[in-house]
Structures are given as structure tokens and as C-alpha cells.
Structure 1
């Protein structure tokens, strides 16, 4: 399985001949190296409805008829936009042809703002456990630190955890380091930082705080094999 990081919370997973994008915020993301015109995802997984996470989902999904998996209220809205969307909810899991998706809790908010300014309720924000090829990835989504991260770690043998460190909208580096201690992944990767002025962070400082797990600060576009 090959993982790559593309700025903000955008993660690409390539496994079993399939390409999966998580939270594909491309247009408007000054950090990303991806181009909507050239990306060909087989599936898109969404943690919540904020525009900087839904991003270019509709255009990408329509281009290759990619399946979109999202919290159910967000999936219902995306379905109304002509997308093949599957709605799931916290605690639920399903085995797709590209891997198994399970939604976990996250503590945040979740709404989508349309071009006309309408605000669409996006359901509960979530984290994602993705399993394929005997490996498990945890994308925490946008969240604060919460105690049940320990339960997520105990119930799952997590190979790589993507955790937000930006502060202001999510947990900051200190809380994120504590979260890694609860989750106990083999590898932790910081995400959701530096995109906007309020979330500027030094990921190397986060790395210094983490005990008991390897931290890989992934440069934009770099890959990690597991």
C-alpha cells in the first residue's frame, strides 16, 4: 500500500490497483501539488462537510464515476449533485471493492456552504479507519483531543495515523502528541497545518513531543509504503 500527502488534509491511498482520495481539497489549496484535471480516483472518502475538506469531490467523482463515501447527510447532498455517494455513520463499517471503511467519532462541526451562500447541514464529523492489504490507516479528520482515541487504538492495530496539528480549528501540536500516545499507531503523520495563517505550525516541534511512535513529516507529494 502506498500513501501520499498533498497538503491540508488531503491523503491519497493506492492499494490493490485502486486510488482513494481522502478530503480532496485541491482548488484553493495553495499547498497541494494535485491537479483536478489529472487526478483519477476510484473512490473518495470524506470526513466531514466543510468546504476545505469536500473540496473538489463533485468534479472528481463525476469525471471517473468514483464512489464517494461520506457521513450520511453529506452523502445525501452530494447525491443530489449527481454523485454516486454512499452515506455511512459513526461506528459503521463496510467492505468495498477498494477496502474497508469504518467511521469513528470526531469532535468538530460540519456544514457545507454552496456557491450561492446556502449552508447545508453535513451530519456528524468523523474520523476514518481504512483497511486494505492487512493494513489499517486512521485519518482523524478535524477534531479536538478526546479520550475515546484510546479505545480506537486498543480496538485497532493502526499502521499509520494522520492527525491534525494546526490548532485554532482543531487540536494543536501538544494535544495531537497526546492523541498519538492514546492511539498508539506505528507511524504518525501530521496534517491540517500551514494552509491558512491561523493554523501555521512547525511539524518538527510536534515530532519532538511524540513518544512511542515514529513520526514522519511528509513533504507535499511524498509517499510512504507500508
Structure 2
């Protein structure tokens, strides 16, 4: 069984058979996540799709406190070494690695990528996570792109995390097309509402996906067990 908590923007905590995997930790600067106590977040791994502030704001502090292994691009792992963090696993597009919770493949994301100090962060990425009997696709910040068709041909995806906020990433219309490309009917929304540029109408979003025969989950921002989604 897998459990999922949403911490806002693109940050999720996935628990797989006792292993906790944190995605793109941006919490303390996010007013929508003000009830999340960052100091109480425990994780064994941190997956980082790219280096923009709204994905890495809490990365260094959480990594130092938890000693979690960080999975990201080669460039971001090298940047983290300069922050005093050596527990990284560098990857690049198309690469696979078997971790104790399952297999991770780094996927292409159509997006820019730099780190908070302006240094180059490598190519923006997403991840395919194959664990137990489930396959998850965390798209990261991305535009709609043709590579998603290949992703849908190579993997039977049970759940996909897709950005829907528009302006910086795909919006609702393109995310529905992406869901068709990857052949996934269970979509978990991310990268919306945090800033004025990416606010969405929740009911309109849910209706648009439902009209396309796709289930859209817009999770409550919470670190409570009762609010966790079971995958």
C-alpha cells in the first residue's frame, strides 16, 4: 500500500512500505502550506525535478536534518555538495536505477532549469517510479510534449502527477491531452494556486477532466494521516 500527502505546489510525501519519498520540497515560503511543520517532515529519499526556488526552497535544510538520499540531475547533486550535502545520487535523462523502494527512471521535462544562485541545474526532469505493483509518473514542471506519447507506450502508468496551473507549465487543456498521451486516467494535480499567475478554478478543472473521462485529484494540503490519499 502507498500513501500520499500533499504539501502544496509540487511537493508530495509518498510512503511506500515504510519508505518515505519527498518530492520537490517547497513549503516554508508557501502561504498555502503555512500549517505544515517542516521540522516534523521525515523522509528517506528526496526527488528533485529541477532547481527553481519553488521546488528546492526547503531542500538543503530537510536534507541536512534527515540525511535523506537526494535523487536529481548531476548538476544539482554537484551544487548540493557545495552546500555540504554529500548524500546524493546523480542521474540524467533516460537513466534507470534500482533503489530499495523500487526503480526510478529520469524523464524529459520541457522546462528551464537553474538553481537559486543562478547556476545551471542541468535539464529539467520528471520521474517514472516503479514500486511494488504500481507505476507512477511525476512529470515535474513541463509543457505538453511529444515525448509523453512514448512514455505512454513504454509504461502502464497507474497514477500521474501533472502540472495544471498554466503560465509556467501546462494548463488544464494541455494536461488533459498529456493524460491521453500517457494513457493514464488517474491524475494528481500539482503546480497550481500558489501564486496569482497559476490560480485555477477547481470546479472548472475537475469538470474538464471528468468530461474527458479522467479522474483529477486536487489534494488537500495537509501532513495529517487522515488526509493522505491511498494509492
Superposition TM-score, scaled by structure 2 size: 0.92
Q: Who is 1:23 aligned against?
A: 24
Q: In structure 1, how many angstroms separate the alpha carbons of the residues matched to 2:162 and 2:202? A: 11
What's the CA shift string for 1:63-84, capped at 9, x where partnerless? 1211000111111101221221
Q: In structure 2, how many angstroms separate the alpha carbons of the residues matched to 1:73 and 1:215? A: 33
Q: Which has the higher helix share?
A: 2
> Cα distance, 1:204 vs. partner?
2.8
Give the number of equivalent residue pairs. Answer: 222
Q: Who is 2:171 aligned against?
A: 172
Whether contact under 8 Å (1:173, 1:205) holds in the other structure is no
1:218 and 2:223 correspond: no
Aligned with 1:110 (options 106, 109, 113):
113
Q: Who is 1:59 aligned against?
A: 61
- Counting only pairs closer than 5 Å after superposition, residues 25-174 of structure 1 correspond to structure 2 as 25-32=26-33, 33-83=35-85, 84-114=87-117, 119-174=118-173
Q: Which runs of 5+ in 1 are unaligned?
A: none
Q: Please tell me the root mean square deviation across aligned C-alpha atoms, in Å.
A: 1.3
Stretch moving more, 73-82 or 20-29: 73-82
> Cα distance, 1:207 vs. partner?
2.4
Moved runs in structure 1, 4+ residues, more than 3 A? none
Stretch moving more, 103-112 or 182-191: 182-191
Whether contact under 8 Å (2:50, 2:121) holds in the other structure is yes
> Cα distance, 1:132 vs. partner?
1.2
Q: In structure 1, how many angstroms separate the alpha carbons of the residues matched to 2:178 and 2:116? A: 30
Superposition TM-score, scaled by structure 1 size: 0.94
